[in-house]
Structure 1
Amino acid sequence: MPVHPTRHTLHRPTCDDPRTHPRRRRTRAVTALLALPLITLGGAAPEAAATPPATTTPTATSPTYLVGRGLADITGEPGENGMLGYGDSTQKTSGIHMRQHARAFVIVDPHTGTRLLYLLGDMLTGESKIRRDVLTALADRYGSRYGEANVMIGGIHTHATPGGTGEYSLYNVTTMGTHQDTFTAVKDGLLAAVDRAEADLAPTRINVSSSALTNASVNRSRLAFDRNPDELTARLPDGIDPRSVTLTFDRAGATVGAINWFAVHPTSLTSKNTLISTDNKGYAEWLWERGRAGVDYEAINQGGSPAMVAGFAISNGGDATANLGLKPGTGPTTDQFDNMRIIGQRQFDAAYGQLKGPRTAVTGPLDSRIIYVDMQHASAPAAFTRTGHDESTCRATLGAAFGASSTEDGGGGATFLAEGVDGNPFFAVLTKPTYDADPAFRQCQSPKATLFESGALDGVQTVVPVQVFRIGDVYLLGMPGEMTAGTGIRLQDTLAAALGTTADKVILQGVTNAYSHYFTTPEEYDRQDYEGGATIFGKWTTPTFQGVVDRLGRDLRDGRATPIGTPPAPRASVESAVGKVLLDSPSPEHQYGDQIDGTPGLPDTPGAPTTASVAPGGHASAVFVGAHPNNSVHRRSSLMQVERRDGDRWVRIADDNDFATSFAWARSGIAASTVTLTWAVPADTPAGTYRLVYTGDAKDAAGQISAIRGEGHPFHVG
């Protein structure tokens, strides 16, 4: 039977934490109730690796599809890289809370050979540069098997992620340019996941299910949402889309894969966090893979096959925050890491609980369509504008409300800017002459008070892809940005009508293949909250996309090819010098791997009384003389482990893939480093002797990189 979670406390870093200031000996404990299994890795008990049985058997007598699953690490630079999502230049990586992964699902119709490739990364978004390079590499490896239409690449939208992976300047401001090492880690990880999925192909049943999840999100822009017509707001009475939709993949009576879509921002972790993490959606993935199926991520990176691959994607969550208290780091608690756990647990419970309810077998053909749209010169059909005539998009422009950032989720917003149509009178005055001189631009962008024209600066992607996958009688719509709840409903309805099906057969996915900010309804746009200010193509963005989606749906329904248009050309980029390692050098009195602080160790004398003991539910820590973690980006292995003594050997039981651990790095002088490992000891941890182990890489004056290791003082738990 699966290992079940227990509750315990967890200490997590703040700006005053000893993991940021490792010479401080006292910690500021933050208490959080957490649900964590204790899993022995590299030697897991048989029950830890068991997968839950499928509770509903599809009516088909044999599997309809061949499905392959792949899982691979994509963790980027843990040191001094600007983080992507909040736009806060002070948020730079300083370690790892939970490593990030790519999940690949290859679906094949064995009768026709038609293939779909779905890729989901623990990253902010799909991006044009990542997509282009992945498609090129896939062509080299697999020939014509994969192309533009049948490859979909999305992100879970975590904001606790290293940046510099894109080619558009606006998104590289906080990273001071591109970061090739982080980009390569993401690209190579995505490709490794595909290779593993190809090797995993086997007859598999696909089922679809859904349920309502109402306590994991709240609308952060309710005044804008309430401007929508009654027929729309009546369908979403709480201002959120509560639909949790899951595709599950079953073999031999067991569920071995799942993809869930739910509308919530992974912003439980605030802009004050500087540890790489997967946030709430990644915690849901971890619960299913590690907690229920005993997946050892380290073994997978060495070529093992996972018992479970579970992805948790974002749907129309553009205005849905995980901060239920409507302030950064609030709701259900005031601790950001506890909130990450709780909101992730609720998403997991909703998806996993669907195994016990009715699931519908997915049957039928596979198909796909994609089209690239120049959103600065597109038409919004009268059928969708609600003005009685066609409207037009225009040059991409960010509003002053965007510069204020989201009040509920926080970030790098300017204090002199505000959300709301009347919130920025100074910029409204500056915008008026432009509107007076260009009525078409006013018709497109008004009442937005302009902050700057991002399209004119070529700072954002303006030619963007819209994509539809057909998986039997289920349709997945991939959009290149963040859809509000209302926008999602309109796109869902439009695609369903074009296909001649019902809206419940359409699944929505945001931040897919590219990123072009937000998509609000015209009614929401007029409020000019953060989301409206970030709707860069103007008021008619969603009606324009409705026209595109209508065309894709009709082409798909009628078996007609869709000309894909012209993908955006590659952009020149400047490699950032930030985070580049020139030299590592420990202080003269120490060597790499020396433990210089943390939990005291046990005496070496056999039979001597215990001098170091950590109670279950407590915290163990160790501070080591280390090296810059960016030397280890491509090692594809953990920078820390928790080990338990088993006779005359040490057995790894946790690592930096786990929620209860953290690896924090800090400079000490110019070329020296300290690393702090922390483990929140689960409440059900067996009594015994444990230690924390640091592994890394150091660069010498000649540029040679060598492995280093630090074994912490053993301590007793129990």
Structure 2
Amino acid sequence: MFIYWIQLIVCLLSYINIIHAYKVGTGIADITGPCAQIMFMGYAELGQTGEGIRQRIWARAYIVADDQDDTKRIVFVNTETQSMGDIVKKRVIQSLQKQYGKSLYTEQNVMLSSTHSHSGPGGYLQQALYELSVLGWIEETTQPMVQGIVQAIARAHDSVQPGKLHLAVDELLDTNINRSGASYLMNPLEERKQYKYNVDKNMTVLGFHSSAGEPLGLISWFAVHGVSVNNTNRLINGDNKGYAAYVTDRKINPHGTLSGKGKFVAAFAQSNEGDVSPNTLGSFCTGTTISCDGSKNDKCPTGSSCNGRGPGWKTSDYESNRIIGQQQSDKALELYEKQENQLNGIIDSRSKLFDISKMVINGTKKLCRPAMGYAFAAGTTDGPALTTLGFYQNMTHGTLGWDIVKDILRTPTKEQTDCQQPKPILLDTGEITIPNPWQPTILEIQLFRLGDVFIASTPSELTTMSGRRLRRAIKSRLNSRGIQVQDVIYSGPANGYASYCATYEEYQKQRYEGASTPYGPHTLSAYIETFNELVDAMANGSPASSVPLPDYTNQAFNLSPPKIADFKPITHQFGDIVTDVVVKPNGYSSGQTVSASFVAGNPRNNLMLDKTYLTVERYMPSSTSTKTNTNADSSWVVIRTDNDWDTRFNWKRNQVLLGRSTAIIEWDVDDTVEAGTYRLGYFGHHQSILKKRVTAHHGYSTPFEVQ
């Protein structure tokens, strides 16, 4: 009997030891960057430069720490960007270690994941191919991104408190489709039979609450491309996931919180979206009802191109964006409110930097120096590119004319050509090193553990089946090491950018995703083998080996327009009204737009991080709310900023040589707006020609009524 009690006590102590209570923290910060004159990252559409803001873009940070050992923690950051720069992460870690020491936040336990929005400024990727797509390495974009990410993590750090985590998973329909169904069908039938859909329809939500049950935030993972807003857009925004985060924050945070920002922080993270589109109605030749897929044998009539259509396409791409974002928000809140499946257990993390181009799988499958295929130049149905020049999806052979042209830049070696088969190489990015390497070969993968839930990341855009295989492989490896797994979540692109990762079978089709898989047909196998190393290191309690990350930013170029001095008309001051609000006798009503324009300076003079270029203000003489600014009447209360979906900040350079520009403020009135007196406000900065001093200015419209 005595031995029985001893055994029982040992078992109880062992059970107590594996129960890990958590401390959690959330934080958010602005990373918008320059909203004018800088090219957007994603579509590589020459001339798609910023002209203002539809909504600001944000970094949202989440910290989970062991309640008993505060040094055991992980940091997940979601950024509303096309991808994440490896140098951005390096600088973030350096800044964090200056503030908190060398051991608390490291490359191992900080994951920077992106939503893959195509509507934000570029310039934060150090390889030449990506620099060319946005005209350079741009510190104006990179520095506020680093600053904002660090600020978001610092705010999460300062808010860490005892808390609870819950995980929930459910289907979300009518929100994504496969834009390369023909490639998906290349995968083995038996494998496809394991799944109901040709894209992942599951949304996974990790919910954060205080120990008292107060809502603190959520992270939602759902696979859908950030291309609801098309390549004609010139206003910064976070696409469908940015909108989802915005409306979720506004709904949960206390009523009246400006722009929805408060203690509750919602992130809508990306998953294996490589072949997944938000344009759920399918693809059609523009101006027709002819369906298409962008392939060579499926041409559109002359003057028409193959474009995806979102659910609100008849109204605008912005309306499609709103619908897809709202559906993600609604499902995430439904899952969050269930508070089922509370997590507990070990917190752990591993990351590994490795040279993918030097890998050999099973002694025979060689990885390649990076290269991009002909179909890469065709673009996708979400953003067609050079289709009028003879490029199509599913090109497994080059053309004589383009072969001559591309060989002027670089003729691929026979080894490279053989390695990349059946990809016809258009850009031999791995063998061009001027002015710096055109694509990375040193990549980072990462694995987080929260009890029996794991979060894996790569810098690539994984296709649907690539993501499924990777998750299955990680789970199988964990189980083989005696580790029970509830779920493996894939998040990315994270910690860098390496274009796409298609399966071996999809690669043979050479649609856009396969043509944009840089390292050859065995790229996915290389990722899986390297994750096996991470799993083994985690199971053994040992570090994973890594190679150094190269920094080429001192070799980078910047061809974006320089900032020049601002000038005002002789008869006006900066901030003066150019075109005032039209004051209507009966006031404005739902469905109408109010606008005014002002003499402006270049918004690049001050990025206004965590601030705003515009306000919509309501006259409320009895209010004690925060003033618009120190010189304003305290009766005017800010109800909208440039982060709100129903406002637009537009900037136009009227006269380039004279340095004159205009800011146009717009506000769409809807049925949620209360009757009252309102005005529009503009806040900017101008730079002088002699001292290059930046000076603030502002202006207000004439008050107007809303009925």
Q: TM-score band, normalised by the shorter chain?
A: 0.7 to 0.9
Alignment partner of 1:324: what SS? Answer: coil
CA shift for structure 1 position 442? 4.5
Determine which of 512, 517, 531 is the counterpart of 1:549: 531
Tell me which amino acid in the other structure corresponds to 2:154: D
Contact 1:298–1:638 (8 Å) recurs in 2: no
Q: Deviations over 1:312-360 (max 9, x none)?
A: 1110011001112334453343311001100001111111111344621
Contact 2:166–2:339 (8 Å) recurs in 1: no
The CA distance in 2 between the partners of 1:634 and 1:357, in whole Å, is 38
Instruction: Name the residue aligned to 1:12.
Output: none
CA shift for structure 1 position 594? 2.0
Tell me which amino acid in the other structure corresponds to 1:171: Y
The CA distance in 2 between the partners of 1:698 and 1:447, in whole Å, is 54
Instruction: Name the residue aligned to 1:694.
Output: 682
The CA distance in 2 between the partners of 1:517 and 1:417, in whole Å, is 19
Determine which of 351, 376, 383 is the counterpart of 2:332: 351
Instruction: Name the residue aligned to 1:293.
Output: 253
Runs of 4 or more off by more than 6 Å in structure 1? 295-300, 427-432, 436-439
Contact 2:205–2:221 (8 Å) recurs in 1: yes
Contact 1:125–1:512 (8 Å) recurs in 2: yes
Contact 1:396–1:455 (8 Å) recurs in 2: yes
- After superposition, the CA RMSD in angstroms is 2.6
Contact 1:364–1:472 (8 Å) recurs in 2: yes
- Kindly tell me: are residues 297 and 198 of structure 1, through their superposed partners in 2, closer, same or farther at Cα, counting changes over 3 Å? farther
Alignment partner of 2:266: what SS? Answer: strand
Alignment partner of 1:145: what SS? Answer: coil
- Kindly tell me: are residues 96 and 521 of structure 1, through their superposed partners in 2, closer, same or farther at Cα, counting changes over 3 Å? same
Alignment partner of 2:217: what SS? Answer: strand
Alignment partner of 1:161: what SS? Answer: coil
- Kindly tell me: are residues 159 and 459 of structure 1, through their superposed partners in 2, closer, same or farther at Cα, counting changes over 3 Å? same
Contact 2:30–2:610 (8 Å) recurs in 1: yes
Task: Determine whether 1:566 maps to 2:542.
Answer: no
Instruction: Name the residue aligned to 1:71.
Output: 28
Larger deviation, residues 105-114 vs 338-347 = 105-114
Tell me which amino acid in the other structure corresponds to 1:687: A
Instruction: Name the residue aligned to 1:466.
Output: 445
Q: Deviations over 1:592-625 (max 9, x none)?
A: 2222225324xxxxxxxx6362112211111111
- Kindly tell me: are residues 657 and 411 of structure 1, through their superposed partners in 2, closer, same or farther at Cα, counting changes over 3 Å? farther
Contact 2:652–2:661 (8 Å) recurs in 1: yes
Larger deviation, residues 228-237 vs 360-369 = 228-237
Contact 1:160–1:278 (8 Å) recurs in 2: yes
Alignment partner of 2:383: what SS? Answer: coil
The CA distance in 2 between the partners of 1:295 and 1:476, in whole Å, is 33
Unmatched runs of 5 consecutive residues or more in structure 2: 1-15, 284-307, 622-633
The CA distance in 1 between the partners of 2:164 and 2:338, in whole Å, is 16
- Kindly tell me: are residues 414 and 237 of structure 1, through their superposed partners in 2, closer, same or farther at Cα, counting changes over 3 Å? farther
Tell me which amino acid in the other structure corresponds to 1:338: E
Determine which of 83, 99, 102 is the counterpart of 1:141: 99
TM-score norm. by structure 2 comes to 0.86
CA shift for structure 1 position 390? 3.3
Instruction: Name the residue aligned to 1:480.
Output: 459
The CA distance in 1 between the partners of 2:96 and 2:257, in whole Å, is 24
Contact 2:478–2:485 (8 Å) recurs in 1: no
Tell me which amino acid in the other structure corresponds to 1:678: E
Alignment partner of 1:118: what SS? Answer: strand
- Kindly tell me: are residues 516 and 393 of structure 1, through their superposed partners in 2, closer, same or farther at Cα, counting changes over 3 Å? same
- Kindly tell me: are residues 288 and 257 of structure 1, through their superposed partners in 2, closer, same or farther at Cα, counting changes over 3 Å? same
Task: Determine whether 1:625 maps to 2:625.
Answer: no
The CA distance in 2 between the partners of 1:194 and 1:264, in whole Å, is 26
Determine which of 125, 128, 132 is the counterpart of 2:90: 132
Q: Deviations over 1:159-214 (max 9, x none)?
A: 00001122111112143222212111101001111111111010010111111112
Alignment partner of 1:703: what SS? Answer: coil
Instruction: Name the residue aligned to 1:497.
Output: 476
Tell me which amino acid in the other structure corresponds to 1:613: G
Determine which of 447, 453, 456 is the counterpart of 2:431: 456
TM-score norm. by structure 1 comes to 0.85
Contact 1:689–1:714 (8 Å) recurs in 2: yes
Contact 2:44–2:134 (8 Å) recurs in 1: no
The CA distance in 1 between the partners of 2:79 and 2:546, in whole Å, is 24
Alignment partner of 2:84: what SS? Answer: coil
Instruction: Name the residue aligned to 1:535.
Output: 517
Contact 2:125–2:497 (8 Å) recurs in 1: no
Task: Determine whether 1:318 maps to 2:278.
Answer: no
Tell me which amino acid in the other structure corresponds to 1:238: Y
Instruction: Name the residue aligned to 2:393.
Output: 419
The CA distance in 1 between the partners of 2:431 and 2:485, in whole Å, is 37
Determine which of 78, 81, 88 is the counterpart of 2:45: 88
Instruction: Name the residue aligned to 1:47.
Output: none
Tell me which amino acid in the other structure corresponds to 2:461: E
Alignment partner of 1:77: what SS? Answer: coil
Unmatched runs of 5 consecutive residues or more in structure 1: 1-58, 382-388, 602-609
CA shift for structure 1 position 311? 0.7
Determine which of 57, 62, 76 is the counterpart of 1:100: 57
CA shift for structure 1 position 627? 1.1
The CA distance in 2 between the partners of 1:413 and 1:517, in whole Å, is 20
Contact 2:23–2:65 (8 Å) recurs in 1: yes
Task: Determine whether 1:676 maps to 2:651.
Answer: no
Larger deviation, residues 209-218 vs 330-339 = 330-339
Which structure ranks higher in relative contact order (CA pairs < 8 Å, sequence separation ≥ 6)? Answer: 1
CA shift for structure 1 position 403? 0.9
Instruction: Name the residue aligned to 1:716.
Output: 705
Task: Determine whether 1:241 maps to 2:200.
Answer: yes
Tell me which amino acid in the other structure corresponds to 1:391: K
Tell me which amino acid in the other structure corresponds to 1:250: H
Instruction: Name the residue aligned to 2:421.
Output: 446
Instruction: Name the residue aligned to 1:410.
Output: 384
- Kindly tell me: are residues 141 and 447 of structure 1, through their superposed partners in 2, closer, same or farther at Cα, counting changes over 3 Å? same
Tell me which amino acid in the other structure corresponds to 1:466: I
- Kindly tell me: are residues 622 and 429 of structure 1, through their superposed partners in 2, closer, same or farther at Cα, counting changes over 3 Å? closer
Contact 1:79–1:94 (8 Å) recurs in 2: yes
Contact 1:95–1:664 (8 Å) recurs in 2: yes
Task: Determine whether 1:255 maps to 2:235.
Answer: no
Instruction: Name the residue aligned to 1:230.
Output: 189
The CA distance in 2 between the partners of 1:329 and 1:699, in whole Å, is 42
The CA distance in 2 between the partners of 1:657 and 1:264, in whole Å, is 23
The CA distance in 2 between the partners of 1:503 and 1:364, in whole Å, is 12
CA shift for structure 1 position 295? 8.2
Contact 2:453–2:485 (8 Å) recurs in 1: no
Task: Determine whether 1:509 maps to 2:491.
Answer: yes
Tell me which amino acid in the other structure corresponds to 2:24: V
Alignment partner of 2:431: what SS? Answer: coil
Contact 2:250–2:259 (8 Å) recurs in 1: no
Tell me which amino acid in the other structure corresponds to 1:322: P
Tell me which amino acid in the other structure corresponds to 2:528: Q
The CA distance in 2 between the partners of 1:390 and 1:169, in whole Å, is 31
CA shift for structure 1 position 409? 3.4
Tell me which amino acid in the other structure corresponds to 1:716: E
CA shift for structure 1 position 424? 4.3
Tell me which amino acid in the other structure corresponds to 1:114: K
Contact 1:600–1:612 (8 Å) recurs in 2: no
- Share of identical aligned residues, percent? 29
Contact 2:52–2:650 (8 Å) recurs in 1: yes
Matches within 5 A, 1:44-59: none
The CA distance in 2 between the partners of 1:420 and 1:585, in whole Å, is 51
- Kindly tell me: are residues 350 and 299 of structure 1, through their superposed partners in 2, closer, same or farther at Cα, counting changes over 3 Å? closer
Task: Determine whether 1:591 maps to 2:548.
Answer: no
Instruction: Name the residue aligned to 2:305.
Output: none
Determine which of 313, 329, 334 is the counterpart of 1:333: 313
The CA distance in 2 between the partners of 1:82 and 1:698, in whole Å, is 22
- Kindly tell me: are residues 95 and 189 of structure 1, through their superposed partners in 2, closer, same or farther at Cα, counting changes over 3 Å? same
- Kindly tell me: are residues 573 and 633 of structure 1, through their superposed partners in 2, closer, same or farther at Cα, counting changes over 3 Å? farther
Tell me which amino acid in the other structure corresponds to 2:459: P
Instruction: Name the residue aligned to 2:286.
Output: none
